[in-house]
Structure 1
Amino acid sequence: MAQRVLILIEGSTKGSGLLYIQAAQRLGLHPITLATDPARYEYLWAEGLESIQVDTDDLEALIHVCSRLRSTYNIAGITGFPNPGESVFVTVGKLCGHFGLPGPNPASIEQCCDKFNQRQLLAAAGVPIPAYRLAANAGDIKRATAEMGLPVIMKPAAGCGSSGVRLCRTVDEVAEHTRHLLGGTHIWRSSPRILVEEFAQGRHYTAQIMGNEVIGITTSDFGPPPHFVYRQFTFPAPLAAEEHDRIVEVALSSVRALSLGWGPTNIELRWTKGGPVVIEVNPRLAGTPDPQLVQLAYGVDLVTEHIKLVIGDERSSRKLHAHTAAARILVPDRDGTVDWTDGPDRAAAIPGVAEVKLYVMPKTPIVRKGDDRDWIGYVIASSPSLAQTEAILQNAVGLIGWSITPFPTIHE
């Protein structure tokens, strides 16, 4: 009998890729990664995992590779990762349809990946969202800002990881970010399309969804504005029952409005003075550390449950326990070169610490981008209570240190 294979389109540099590899292996599957540049994903060569280089933007090339693999293997399922954008899940849906495998509806994913189309569909369905305008040039941005008033959020209409997202509180900040987005610094995969949005102020939450079921809700904290770089995630979010129910109601309304409901979705919201407002719907499983937090808190392995869906097996989201898990993101405070790092092993030895990860080592250059690429590591902890988890996390983070020497100043 041919070996059962899970095809993974692209990978993840933050940890989710290896989680999928390990979950697939536990399910008796042989994972094979198809990537434009497999060398991007260190875990592939570090673990001696099979990968094939192919242009993952080329659907026909992917079909050709998968057809060739089918002559040797039994392809049980296909899924992927949002590198460099969530449009990879459109490709995944088309591949699944071509080979008669379970998968997402590519048309639903495609309309969701365009944040402007997503806003239109949510608004038409009565889902609460911030006021917004679509802009293609500096004149559009200036008009949109004048109509809505400051402050505003400016972001690309397609993308992930908070790349190109900024809070603009003054006319000068709007002009500065306009130059960044349109002046050649930001990399566009198509013609520039920018969302100018009302700044919805309030606590940030993420609904973790599988199919049409909200598994739980995470709350997140960010570093200082104007960027939105995550600093901490806590699961489950401490919410009153009526707040929890209201977020679930809005989240599931979003899923219906966008014709999703197959597989994982994560929905970002802000709790404003008027209640929950949807910031973004992502038609995929949230990346690290969210899957780890859900598993530590509830005993629900979202990665494994997603793979079960992908290969047509029955899944279960039964909660095994009720703990609190939290992750602290390690972010540098300056650009420069890493001199030394210290403490991860001591931090990992603390009871209640589940995982410590540092992405950098001595001689690593640090150039902050104001998005998720600024992460240099994380610490994850869990315990039966929120207060205890916070104390464990604080203790562990306090043991980790690093030194960064600023880049030399160039004198003319």
Structure 2
Amino acid sequence: CDKFTQRQLLAEAGVPIPAYRSAANATDVESAAAEIGFPVILKPAVGNGSYGVRLCCDVDELAEHTTYLLGGKHIWRSEPRILVEEFAQGPYYWTDVMANEVIGVCAADFGPLPHFVIRECTYPALLRDDEHKRIADISLSCLRALGLGWGPTNIEFRWTKRGPVVIEVNPRLAGGIAPQLVQLAYGIDLVTEHIKLVFGEEWNLRKRHSQTAAARFLIPDRDGIVDWIDGDSEAAAVPGVAEVKLNVEPKTPIVRKGDDGDWIGHVIAASSRLARTEAILQRAVDLIGWSITPFPAPNKNNLQAATDEA
């Protein structure tokens, strides 16, 4: 779970990874970014869900995000330590692995930079056989390098100019809806099979069918108070839709932070063909609507009075 130590072990094993440095303070961060070259990724050395992860394209953005991470706004789960990484640019994929078997590869797209909030994912990814094999082979190399291979592993990649580059290895099932996508695509219930493994029972990773499953995450374009959100029932009634879930209700305050907590809902669909699944998903998403009233702007007189009192 320590991303710096993980990077060291992967590098020693020859696994392709981005250039990286560890930093404990603002001076270290600035020095590391200068060595790697902009743009860089700043992230907590321990964490998940893209919490605290941001792309920094210049020294001003670097200083701003360093201040955010070290200035008391970010909640640290361990001793504050920052990972500074090369920005590996290219399509994003993840693999779901159980023991030493790669179950499948998922493709995902993100919302606007500088944050990394997944907007849509498709399972399985549309890859050539040789591309799939390359990602699968590197996935197994990660397991060997980190001493994993007993149970589930989730491995994230970017396909760059030099091929697949490992972004992160998670020694667990992928979070959120990922196991559901696998079940819709292949009929494999990874949660149940993992439980069987824990209890020493025989598991079954055989694919029961082959479909294309996809999910779209609902992401607001502003902060504020939710006035209304609806259309979920109509979206759920669209043939081929597997799930519609809304995470907010009217009067919920929305404060975007550039991580998975920004999702206000999702829609999942599945069918026998990618184009059909995408059409189902779009039709369902179009039926969902919401309105958000921005927070009132601070009153200048109140701000001045508060300043005078201070």
TM-score w.r.t. length of structure 2: 0.96
Unmatched 5+ stretches in structure 1: 1-112
Unmatched 5+ stretches in structure 2: 301-310
Structure 1 CA distance for aligned equivalents of residues 201 and 195 of structure 2:
8
Q: CA deviation at 1:192?
A: 1.2
Q: Aligned with 1:186: secondary structure?
A: coil
Cα RMSD (Å): 0.7
Match of 1:388 in 2: 276
2:17 to 122, 129, 134: 129
Structure 1 CA distance for aligned equivalents of residues 291 and 199 of structure 2:
46
Cα deviations by residue, 1:58-110 (Å, 9 ceiling, x for unpaired): xxxxxxxxxxxxxxxxxxxxxxxxxxxxxxxxxxxxxxxxxxxxxxxxxxxxx
1:253 to 141, 151, 155: 141
Match of 1:334 in 2: 222
Q: Does 1:219 align with 2:107?
A: yes
Q: Does 1:140 align with 2:47?
A: no
Match of 1:350 in 2: 238
Q: CA contact under 8 A between 2:225 and 2:292: conserved in structure 1?
A: yes
Structure 2 CA distance for aligned equivalents of residues 370 and 280 of structure 1:
18
Q: Does 1:365 align with 2:253?
A: yes
Q: Aligned with 1:175: secondary structure?
A: helix
Structure 1 CA distance for aligned equivalents of residues 96 and 61 of structure 2:
33
Structure 1 CA distance for aligned equivalents of residues 77 and 233 of structure 2:
40
Match of 2:193 in 1: 305
Structure 2 CA distance for aligned equivalents of residues 191 and 281 of structure 1:
21
Q: Does 1:284 align with 2:284?
A: no
Cα deviations by residue, 1:188-229 (Å, 9 ceiling, x for unpaired): 133211000000001000010011100000001000000000
Structure 1 CA distance for aligned equivalents of residues 192 and 264 of structure 2:
26
- Residue-pair matches, total: 300
Structure 1 CA distance for aligned equivalents of residues 175 and 123 of structure 2:
14
Match of 2:182 in 1: 294
Q: CA deviation at 1:119?
A: 0.2
Q: Does 1:262 align with 2:150?
A: yes
Q: Aligned with 2:245: secondary structure?
A: strand
Q: Does 1:408 align with 2:270?
A: no
Alignment of 1:56-75 (within 5 A): none
**Which AA in structure 2 matches 1:144?**
A
Identical pairs, percent? 72
Structure 1 CA distance for aligned equivalents of residues 279 and 176 of structure 2:
21
1:162 to 36, 42, 50: 50
Q: Does 1:374 align with 2:262?
A: yes
**Which AA in structure 1 matches 2:85?**
E
Q: CA contact under 8 A between 2:218 and 2:263: conserved in structure 1?
A: yes
TM-score w.r.t. length of structure 1: 0.72
Q: Aligned with 1:285: secondary structure?
A: coil
